[in-house]
Structure 1
Amino acid sequence: MATGQNTEGDANPSQPALDRTLADFDPVKKPKRNKFAFACAILASMTSVLLGYDIGVMSGANIYIQDDLKISDLQVALLVGTLNLYSLVGSAAAGRTSDRIGRRYTIVMAGAIFFLGSILMGFATNYAFLMVGRFVAGVGVGYALMIAPVYTAEVSPASSRGFLTSFPEVFINAGILLGYVSNYAFSKLPTNLGWRFMLGIGAIPSVFLALVVLGMPESPRWLVMQGRLGEARKVLDKTSDSKEESQQRLSDIKEAAGIPQDCNDDIVHVQKQSHGEGVWKELLIYPTPAVRHILICGIGIHFFQQASGIDAVVLYSPRIFEKAGITSSNDKLLATVAVGFTKTVFILVATFLLDRIGRRPLLLSSVGGMVLSLATLGFGLTMIDHSDEKLPWAVALSIAMVLAYVSFFSIGMGPITWVYSSEIFPLKLRAQGTSMGVAVNRVTSGVISTTFILLYKAITIGGSFFLFAGVAAVGWLFFYACLPETRGRTLEDMEVLFGSFFKWRSALKDEQRKEVSSGENGGQIQMGTKAQE
Structure 2
Amino acid sequence: MAVQEPLNDGFSGQAPKVIEDFDPPQKPKRNKYALACSFLASMTSILLGYDIGVMSGAIIFIKPQFGISEVQVEILVGILNLYSLLGSAAAGRTSDWIGRRLTIVFASTIFFAGALLMGFATNYAFLMVGRFVAGIGVGYALMIAPVYTAEVSPASSRGFLTSFPEVFINFGILLGYCSNYGFSKLPAHLGWRFMLGIGAIPSVFLALGVLAMPESPRWLVMQGRLGDAKHVLDKTSDSLEESRLRLADIKEAAGIPEDCNDEIVTVSKKHHGEGVWRDLLIRPTRPVLHILITAIGIHFFQQASGIDAVVLYSPRIFSKAGITSHDQQILASMAVGLVKTVFILVATFFLDKIGRRKLLLSSVAGMIASLVLLGTALTIIDQHPDHKIKWAIVWSILMVLAYVAFFSIGMGPITWVYSSEIFPLRLRAQGCSMGVATNRVVSGVVSMTFISLYNGITIGGAFFLYAGIATVAFVFFFTLMPETRGRTLENMEQLFGTFFDWRTRLRELEKDQALKSQTELQPQPRLENQH
For this structure pair, what is the TM-score category when the shorter chain's length is used for normalisation?
Answer: over 0.9
CA distance 1:412–1:27, change in 2 (3 Å): farther
Offset of residue 67 of structure 1: 1.2
Partner of 2:401: 403
Alignment of 1:169-318 (within 5 A): 169-265=166-262, 267-271=263-267, 274-318=271-315
- What is the alpha-carbon distance in structure 2 between the residues aligned to residue 241 and residue 485 of structure 1? 22
Partner of 1:31: 28
CA distance 1:27–1:470, change in 2 (3 Å): farther
Offset of residue 189 of structure 1: 1.1
Offset of residue 191 of structure 1: 1.3
Offset of residue 192 of structure 1: 1.2
Report if aligned partners of 2:88, 2:139 keep a CA contact under 8 Å in 1.
yes
Report if aligned partners of 1:519, 1:526 keep a CA contact under 8 Å in 2.
no
**C-alpha deviations, 1:294-327, integer Å up to 9, x for none?**
0011000000000000000000000000000001
Offset of residue 373 of structure 1: 0.1
Equivalent residue in structure 2 for 1:156, among 146, 153, 163: 153
- What is the alpha-carbon distance in structure 1 between the residues aligned to residue 390 and residue 321 of structure 2? 10
Equivalent residue in structure 2 for 1:375, among 372, 393, 402: 372
Report if aligned partners of 1:226, 1:272 keep a CA contact under 8 Å in 2.
no
Offset of residue 27 of structure 1: 8.8
- What is the alpha-carbon distance in structure 2 between the residues aligned to residue 210 and residue 240 of structure 1? 25
Report if aligned partners of 2:254, 2:267 keep a CA contact under 8 Å in 1.
no
**C-alpha deviations, 1:71-128, integer Å up to 9, x for none?**
1111010000010000000000000000000000000000000001001111110000
- What is the alpha-carbon distance in structure 2 between the residues aligned to residue 191 and residue 258 of structure 1? 60
Alignment of 1:440-519 (within 5 A): 440-517=438-515
Equivalent residue in structure 2 for 1:124, among 111, 121, 124: 121
Partner of 1:83: 80
**C-alpha deviations, 1:471-517, integer Å up to 9, x for none?**
00100110010000000000001011100001000112123334444
Offset of residue 348 of structure 1: 0.3
Report if aligned partners of 2:147, 2:432 keep a CA contact under 8 Å in 1.
yes
Offset of residue 526 of structure 1: 8.6
Offset of residue 519 of structure 1: 6.0
TM-score (norm 2): 0.92
- What is the alpha-carbon distance in structure 2 between the residues aligned to residue 299 and residue 478 of structure 1? 12
Partner of 1:9: none
Equivalent residue in structure 2 for 1:413, among 408, 411, 419: 411
Offset of residue 268 of structure 1: 2.9
Offset of residue 188 of structure 1: 1.2
Report if aligned partners of 1:227, 1:272 keep a CA contact under 8 Å in 2.
no
| Higher Rg of the two aligned structures | 2
**1:59 correspondence with 2:50:** no
Partner of 1:104: 101
- What is the alpha-carbon distance in structure 2 between the residues aligned to residue 515 and residue 140 of structure 1? 43
Q: Percent identity among equivalent residues?
A: 73
Tell me, what secondary structure is at the counterpart of 1:355?
Answer: coil
Offset of residue 29 of structure 1: 3.0
- What is the alpha-carbon distance in structure 1 between the residues aligned to residue 329 and residue 272 of structure 2? 49
Report if aligned partners of 1:100, 1:275 keep a CA contact under 8 Å in 2.
no
- How many residue pairs get aligned? The number is 501
Partner of 2:9: none
> How large is the RMSD of aligned CA atoms in angstroms?
1.5
- What is the alpha-carbon distance in structure 2 between the residues aligned to residue 59 and residue 524 of structure 1? 58
CA distance 1:416–1:316, change in 2 (3 Å): same
**C-alpha deviations, 1:39-90, integer Å up to 9, x for none?**
0000000000000000000000011100111111110100000100000000
Deviates more, 1:352-361 or 1:270-279: 270-279
Give 5+ residue unaligned stretches, structure 2. 3-22, 524-531
Code of the residue aligned with 1:499 in structure 2: it is G
